[in-house]
Structure 1
Amino acid sequence: MILKMRSWSKNTKLETGSKGGNYGDDLTSIHGISTTMAVKDKLRLFNKYFLHFSKAEDARCYRVNGSASDHEIANGKIKDKEEGCEGHVKQAKRSKHKGWVTKRPDLKAISEMLNKNEVLYHERYFGDLPGIEVGHRFYSRAEMVAVGLHKLLLKRIDYIGKPYVKSEYNGYTFPLAAAIVMSGQYEDDFGNREEIVYTGEGEKDIPGKKRQFSDQVMRCGNLALKNNKKQSVPVRVIRGHKCDDSYSKKVYSKKVYIYDGLYKVTGYWDEKGVPGFKVFKYRLKRLRGQDNLTSQNQVHFVRGKVSRVQQELPGLVCKDLSNGQEDKCIPVFNFYNPSLAPTGFKYINSIKVAKNVSIPPDAPGCNCRGKCTNPRSCSCAQLNGGDFPYVSRDGGRLFEAKDVVFECGPNCGCGPECVNRTSQQGLKYQLEVYRTKEKGWAVRSLDFIPSGAPVCEYVGILRKNDELEDISENDYIFEIDCWHTMKGIGGRERRLGDVSLPMSNLVDEVDERTLESEPEPEFCIDASSFGNVARFINHSCEPNLFVQCILSSHHDVRLARIVLFAADDIPRMQELTYDYNYAIDSVIGPDGKTKQLPCFCGTSECRKRLY
């Protein structure tokens, strides 16, 4: 159970900056998981709904447009489904039609969560929310609603009015503000982030030029902030930043919202605003004892082109780890041993096959042309449960983790830009390898990565497991356990999503019973001597990537490709991690003794041991 705020009493000292103080006892878990993980789970659920409704909104726009028949889609005559929809929206706006064909999957996603009672904090609370730290980024107003940080999609001041008053609030005068958003919509807002001047709300032409058209009135949110000042109740402050070009291509709201922490309202007054009408002003001062604010430079941070001379980039030890094999160069930075770069392996960008491993012939393909757009006529879509696993947003994003994803292959009629070839496009994001203090090499991205986007494939030598030598000393082995995961063999957790596995396409001598009788996977990818950037991605007990098995050229699940996808919206410079999923005490050394390796991921869900 989550207890409502009780600690902000008349006698409470506000400059404590305590976390979770609003709930009486320190709240560290919700339904058995950490509050940090609970927040992450809700945002993942929101993104799942968002991608689902993105696809539905594309279809809806086309139905309204009426410009694409099933026959045209099936035969590839519509070149870009999303471009066609956007073009129709622009045309509708230019012609000033009342019924604009707009796509707002974010609104549909949050409506779904609200209707199903799936948001994290159902009621409004004062103060910090456990699991949401200072500096937490959100990529839409709807995401903040999903976790309860700010429950309004349009208005800037989220407040508790008289109808919400409960017995524990006896003695307070309502309304009281719980959270405010500074989004730059008012010309009068300014401040240095430690102390800000905030403009009240109301009497503003939101749909038009966003200009003040009359005097503001002391009511609702404006009155709430006044009461916050009188009763010394702090308010959460979220600051909106405009995305630069590289962000705005992938962030649909064109803004990133950052939680700056708790502020005390220290004063208020009214004055003539920039448009000449009366506005209310509030001076807010940040409470002491909170985490440091995220620098605005970090929000808009760009490393710069790695082609600059090495002296301009401290710590650069390698300009391109791939030696030109990838479309994007992969720089390497080391601030702990400046002369050291990764050694002991050769970079490759595709799987090498061991001599004793036979690759099945290419599977039959679909008859689509150009791009696969109609799931009813695409045989590859039918293998994925009757629909495409990707939505064509941001270059292709996976709806959700599945047992296996069937992509279009060499015998398909579609081209390389088909959305059902999303994981075959190579590196889309600017990755860099860097040295850490405790975990060795690590990987991060200089680009924002949206959830569901493919990050990289795990590349190495495709080998048979039973022919590996010194397996306990090899930290770069990735077992291909696609079939075992599908069947839940060995306690593996099944994935979501229905697929139709074409057993006739497996190697002739292998049948389903043989596969089920195998306690361990037959094949693995060994990246110890040959590999790509994926070999440097570290483990985390609370990862931001997930592993997805993919079949593209053939349909033998024992030899599936291993691709890492974004589980969350990943901000720039955040380390990329996935769960290695070792069982404790599962690694045996050459001496027959169980080996142990501590985990240094440092997350709230850390299991303390890797194996």
Structure 2
Amino acid sequence: MGRPRKSAQAAQENITVLDVKPIRTLAPMFPAPQGFNTYTPPNNPSFVCVTPYNLPNPESGSNPPGFTGGQMPLPEFFMGASGAPTPKALKGPKLKKPVLNPTPVQMKSPYVPPVSTGEVKKRRGRKRKSELITPDTTGTAGTSTGTVSASPAKVGTSTGKRGRGRPRKLEQTPKKQKEYVAGDITVVPLSISLNPREAVEEVLMTFDALRRRILQLDEANQVKNAQHLKAGSIMMSNDLRVNRSKTIGHIPGIEVGDMYFFRIEMCLVGVNTQTVAGIDYTKGEDEDRLAVSIVSSGMYENAEDDVDTLVYSGQGMSTKNDQKLVKGNLALENSLKRGNEVRVVRSVKDHANPPNGKIYVYDGLYKIRHSWTEKAGSGFKVFKYKLFREPGQPDGISLWKKAEKWCIDPSSRGDVVVADISAGKEFRPVCVVNEVDEVKGQPGHFTYTTTLTYKDGINPSKQTEGCVCTTVCLPGDTNCSCASKNGGHPPYSAQGVLVSRRSMLYECGRSCGCGISCRSRLTQKGVQLHFEVFKTADRGWGLRCWEPIRSGTFICEFTGEVMDSSGLASNEEQDDEYLFRPVYTDQSFKWNRGPQLLGEPSSDDLGEAAKKLNFVVSAKNMGNMSRFINHSCSPNLFWQPVVHDHTDEGHPHIVFFAMKHIPPMTELTYDYGLSEGESAKRKTCLCGSHKCRGTFG
């Protein structure tokens, strides 16, 4: 038997009027520019006067009440966790050549970690009269999500009786979230400039700092976890990401050749929001579903020999059934018909982490030209798509493949003027390349050395008190005296990556019981990468690497003659273009991002500050490859004081580490800083960075 119908009077009594307001309180809503939320907070003025960027109203000469002159709407890719924009000018990414115009698609990312908000979950099946679906105008990045609001008359009520087939509706209690200390890390997207490139790099460096610290703690506790997934979860739950909306075409802040070691890194910056699947596509009806990005990771039968074309296999395991034209496969087929650009990420082997290590390389924009089906080795049908790279883009995977061949056979490198400038003193040869002019020969006359020479009576010969570890120092060993000097942990990971930047780093020395294979002797093992000295267009000679460099990787030591800076004549300093002066540009060690998210104090809270060093190192007459590292106001290296063979912390070794992931053939730079005093003669900076100070030295 069916249920008896309710009378009209009873139905009328159950109607609840929600949010009744006088009509005079309604504010007019005007169309917002594409990519911006039309929601108007109640405290803001109801009328919006739209004028050109950074210009006052030409008619009135002033701005409406509540609005400030010179402010421009904040793009969606750079909204923080609070959704509050910062009023600074937006600068676009610097590309060698313009890439096709991006087409933002207002879709919520398919990868969103389950974060409890305390809201009532939507019930499956038929809607109740007591439920009202309203748009959530507080969603991050301007995306519109649907939340379920329950009528006050129905929430938390119980009559003691239960209807047939209807479970009792209980009081909704918000789940308590884990709270992280609110420090500078929670405002990463708001504490930097509005340059998209800098925003992307800030997010990636924050993620990697978290991952390195989690790995260090897990090694000490002998725990095997996926540290990158834990770091990614912390980043996502705290909304530390950029480029949230799915975009067809180029993404602000992303450059061709960018490298990623984990899929979650691409999710955080919007390159590809899938953590497992290869095809990222927009949500919607079948005919509106378009592919925006694919990752060719070698899981399927993909042809990757050609650097300008790619044959991509469809989605779905072909070892059990035929692939079907659904989800990602359908999106690729629609993109073939529509002709939209698709971002392509290719994978290469990570030779530093064999046998299964991978590095993901963003190869730019492609278009799908052909599709067909064929039988795979398993005998089942597989969809195939052929993509062609769009012209006018910087070199991507092609440059990686060239550099990989040079590492295998250094003699295949062209335009070499000196085969090995180190004359065999480095573990790998350091060649000199000139692709700019016809000048041959070695750049300058100097003696190549891998050690320091002390002058001006400096004699730091006292040996340090070593640890009693045997063979190697182990993580979590509380008896290791060297680890205790570095905060209780070895300074490097098992892969040889620096975990945290410190005012002084203490390595194991000759008086320690461990051997040269100990991880805490990293900088004493010499240069391990393939470097080349090359002629730049306008800054003399520079240094770059043939291999991909991970953030925190040891580059080299600055060698030469150590002198007392107080006795250095001003004219002698100006004539020396190969002088290293220890000037800190990051007093607070911002490279150690994210300790607050792990419940740890920051460097400022610990009172750790940079130590002033009163010496210089001159590589004018003798030095190594580090003498060719140029200055940049947006560097990719930083220098770190290290002590291992003496106890004189006033004259440590100066070694360079990678500040961020560095793709092959990228010039290596560090910030020379600005000298104190009015008499200092500074030099004109030609770094070309958007943060260029104009001078250095």
- Verify the 8 A CA contact 2:77 2:243 in the aligned structure 1: no
The equivalent residue for 1:129 is 251
Question: Are 1:57 and 1:104, in contact at CA under 8 Å, matched by a contact in 2?
Answer: no
1:430, CA displacement in angstroms?
A: 2.3
Alignment of 1:246-261 (within 5 A): 247-250=350-353, 254-261=357-364
Q: Give the count of matched residue pairs.
A: 507
Partner of 1:22: 104
Tell me the equivalent position of 2:424.
Answer: 324
1:45 counterpart = 2:206: yes
Q: Name the structure 2 match of 1:91.
A: none
* TM, length-normalised to structure 1: 0.73
Distance 2:228 2:460 in 1: 43
1:462 match: 562
5 Å-filtered alignment, 1:162-173, equals: 162=284, 173=287
Contact 1:240 1:258 in 2 (8 A): yes
Residue 599 of structure 1, CA deviation: 2.5
For residues 171-250 of structure 1, what are the structure 2 equivalents within 5 Å? 173-187=287-301, 192=306, 194=308, 196-202=310-316, 204=317, 212-241=319-348, 243=349, 247-250=350-353
Flag the 1:288–1:446 CA change in 2: closer, same or farther, 3 A. Answer: closer
1:538-577 residue pairs with structure 2 within 5 A?
A: 538-577=630-669
- 1:581, 1:136 → 2: CA distance? 27
Residue 399 of structure 1, CA deviation: 0.8
The reply to whether residue 376 of structure 1 matches residue 488 of structure 2 is no
2:480 maps to a residue whose letter is C
Report SS of the residue matched to 1:556: coil
More helix by share: 1
Alignment of 1:405-484 (within 5 A): 405-469=505-569, 470-480=572-582
Q: 1:454 and 1:277, CA in 2 relative to 1: closer, same or farther beyond 3 A?
A: same
Corresponding residue SS for 1:155: coil
Q: Provide the C-alpha distance between the structure 1 equivalents of 2:403 and 2:620, rounded to a whole number of angstroms.
A: 36
Aligned 8 A contact 1:384 1:500 in 2: no
Q: Secondary structure at the residue paired with 1:543?
A: coil
Partners of 1:380 and 1:57 lie apart in 2 by 19
Q: CA deviation at 1:390?
A: 1.1
Counterpart of 1:81 in structure 2 is none
How far has the Cα of 1:123 moved from its partner?
3.6
Relative to structure 1, the CA distance from residue 329 to residue 282 in structure 2 (aligned partners, 3 Å threshold; closer, same or farther) is: closer
- How much has 1:565 moved relative to structure 2? 0.8
Corresponding letter in the other structure for 1:277: F
Tell me the distance in 2 between the aligned counterparts of 1:493 and 1:194. Answer: 41
Q: Is the 8 A contact 2:105 2:245 kept in 1?
A: no
Cα gap change, 1:522 to 1:399, in 2 (>3 Å):
same
TM-score, normalisation: structure 2 = 0.65
1:572-609: CA deviation from partner (whole Å, max 9, x where unpaired): 322221111225x9684xxxxx7453323334433343
Give 2:404's aligned residue: 300
Whole-Å separation in 2 of the counterparts to 1:571 and 1:175: 33
Shift of 1:354: 0.8
Aligned amino acid, residue 520 of structure 2: N
Q: Distance in 2 between matches of 1:283 and 1:132?
A: 24
Q: Evaluate the alpha carbon distance shift between residue 21 and residue 500 of structure 1 in structure 2; reply closer, same or farther with a 3 A threshold.
A: closer
Question: Counterpart of 1:277?
Answer: 380
RMSD, matched Cα: 3.6
Gap change, CA 1:17 and 1:498, over 3 Å in 2: closer
8 Å CA contact 1:18–1:289 kept in 2: the answer is no
Farther-moved stretch of structure 1 (415-424 vs 285-294): 285-294
1:120 maps onto 2:242 in alignment: yes
Within the candidate set 463, 467, 470, 1:366 is matched to 467
Q: Please state how far the C-alpha of 1:403 moved relative to its aligned partner.
A: 1.7
Which amino acid is the alignment partner of residue 342 of structure 1?
P
Equivalent in the alignment of 2:440: 339
Q: What is the distance in 2 between the residues matched to 1:20 and 1:359? A: 58
SS of the residue 1:391 aligns to: coil
Aligned to 1:55, the other structure's residue is in SS state: helix
d(CA) in 1 for partners of 2:391, 2:547:
33
3-state SS of paired residue (1:248): coil
Q: Cα–Cα, structure 1 residues 571 and 284, in superposed 2: closer, same or farther, change >3 Å?
A: closer
Q: State the Cα distance separating 1:534 from its structure 2 match.
A: 0.9
Change (3 A) 1:34 1:156: same
Q: Does 1:391 align with 2:473?
A: no
Give per-residue Cα distances to partners, 1:345-371, cap 9 Å, x unaligned. 222211111142232622322222221
* 1:118 CA drift (Å): 1.8
Q: Residues of 2 paired with 1:557 and 1:191: CA distance?
A: 52
Counterpart residue number, 1:601: 687
Cα contact 1:442–1:538 (8 A) shared by 2: yes
Paired amino acid for 1:228 = S
After superposition, the Cα gap between the structure-2 partners of 1:47 and 1:425, relative to the gap in structure 1 and judged at 3 Å, is: same
Q: Distance in 1 between matches of 2:264 and 2:546?
A: 25
Shift of 1:215: 1.6
Which of 66, 75, 97 is residue 2 of structure 1 equivalent to?
Answer: 75
On the 8 A contact 2:249/2:292 being kept in 1, the answer is yes
Q: CA deviation at 1:232?
A: 4.5
Q: Distance in 1 between the 2:531 and 2:237 partners?
A: 39
Q: Answer whether contact 1:320 1:329 (CA < 8 A) is retained.
A: yes
Q: Conserved in 2, the CA contact under 8 Å of 1:463 and 1:524?
A: yes
CA contact (8 A) 2:426 2:526 kept: yes
The CA distance in 1 between the partners of 2:621 and 2:310, in whole Å, is: 55
SS in 1 for 2:672: coil
Letter matched to residue 18 of structure 1: L
Matching residue within 341, 350, 357 for 2:451 = 350
Pick closer, same or farther for the CA change 1:460–1:59 going to 2, 3 Å: same
Cα shift readout 1:286-328 (whole Å, capped 9, x = no counterpart): 445544554263363325555x6xxx76543333322333333
- Distance in 1 of aligned mates of 2:591 and 2:206: 15
The answer as to whether partners of 1:480 and 1:559 remain within 8 angstroms in 2 is no
CA distance in 2, matches of 1:368, 1:404: 21
Q: Deviations over 1:58-88 (max 9, x none)?
A: 456x46xxxxxxxxxxxxxxxxxxxxxxxxx
CA distance in 1: counterparts of 2:407 and 2:387, whole angstroms: 33
Q: Distance in 2 between matches of 1:155 and 1:549?
A: 43
For each residue in 1:101-140, what CA deviation from the matched residue of structure 2 results, as whole angstroms up to 9, or x when unmatched? x753333332332233222223433321111123333333
Which residue of the partner structure matches residue 142 of structure 1?
264
The 2-side partners of 1:2 and 1:420 are apart by 45
Q: Tell me if structure 2 keeps the 8 A contact 1:385–1:498.
A: no
Distance 1:494 1:138 in 2: 21
Q: Distance in 2 between matches of 1:531 and 1:406?
A: 23
Kindly report which structure 2 residues correspond to 1:64-79, keeping only aligned pairs within 5 A, or say none.
none
Q: Which has the higher contact order (CA 8 A, sep 6+)?
A: 1
Deviation at 1:547, TM superposition (A): 0.7
Distance 1:156 1:319 in 2: 42
Does the residue aligned with 1:118 lie in a helix, a strand or coil? Answer: coil
Is the contact made by 1:38 and 1:120 (CA closer than 8 Å) also made in structure 2?
A: yes
Residues 234, 499 of structure 1: alpha-carbon distance in 2 compared, 3 angstrom cutoff: closer
Aligned pairs for 1:475-514 within 5 A? 475-480=577-582, 496=592
What SS is found at the alignment partner of 1:42? helix
How far apart are the structure 2 equivalents of 1:421 and 1:292? 37
Counterpart AA for 1:301: K
Aligned-partner SS, 1:398: coil
* CA spacing shift, 1:586–1:434, aligned 2, 3 Å: farther
